[in-house]
Copies of this chain bind each other. A is one copy, B any other.
């Protein structure tokens, strides 16, 4: 029957989940430790019981975003789209993962998924291709996501284009198929038929 003076005790998981939801609401630039704390009805200093620094919290968020990447596909294009869509699932997801990626070369979920698909497809140099595709996806998704956000606030000069993101899907598909190398379809040169 206690009036619950402060029953709001949290753990690492609840802090991360609240921060991830806030990221999606306000974006990376406005995701401050003080805002996260306010969302949890807690003082900012309380967060430092669960995470050593903001950097560590952001790395955890990046891990959660990349954790939802579907694995096991033998199709490189489908795998790459899965990575892109996981980045798109949260506001500024691509930028967050990109800026966090270099620090944690351990948990590169995405890269191994790509390398596996490339190997299943019989591509040459699957490791290098996997790295190249990941760099492309991160750069592409970051730019697209920025642009989406920018022209949703009318910050972009209206160049008379109907849709600013038109053609970006085409660029993505072209990039992935080019980087994946020869297609998996059986190469049957014309002179070998008949």
Contact = CB atoms under 8 A, between A and B. Distances in A.
- Counting every copy of the chain, the complex holds 2
A89 interface: no
A98 B145 CA distance: 12
Interface of A: 95, 98-99, 101-103, 105-106, 125, 128-129, 131-132, 135-140, 142-143, 146-147, 150, 155-157, 159, 167-168, 170-172, 174-175, 178-179, 181, 189, 191
Contacts of A135: 136, 139-140, 143, 171, 175
A155 B103 CA distance: 7
A142 to B, nearest CB: 6
B140 A171 contact: no
B143 A140 contact: no
Nearest to A161: B105
User: Which 7 A-B pairs have CB atoms at the shortest separation, nearest pair first?
Assistant: A139-B139, A102-B146, A132-B175, A135-B140, A135-B139, A136-B136, A102-B147
Given A135-B140, A142-B139, A179 B189 contact: no
Contacts of A178: 129, 132, 178-179, 181
B139 A98 contact: yes
A138 B136 CA distance: 8
A146 B105 contact: no
Nearest to A177: B178
Contact of A95 (B99, B103, B157, B172): B99
A76 B167 CA distance: 22
Given A128-B167, A128-B170, A128-B174, A103 B136 contact: no
A95 B179 CA distance: 23
A174 B125 contact: yes
A132 B136 contact: yes
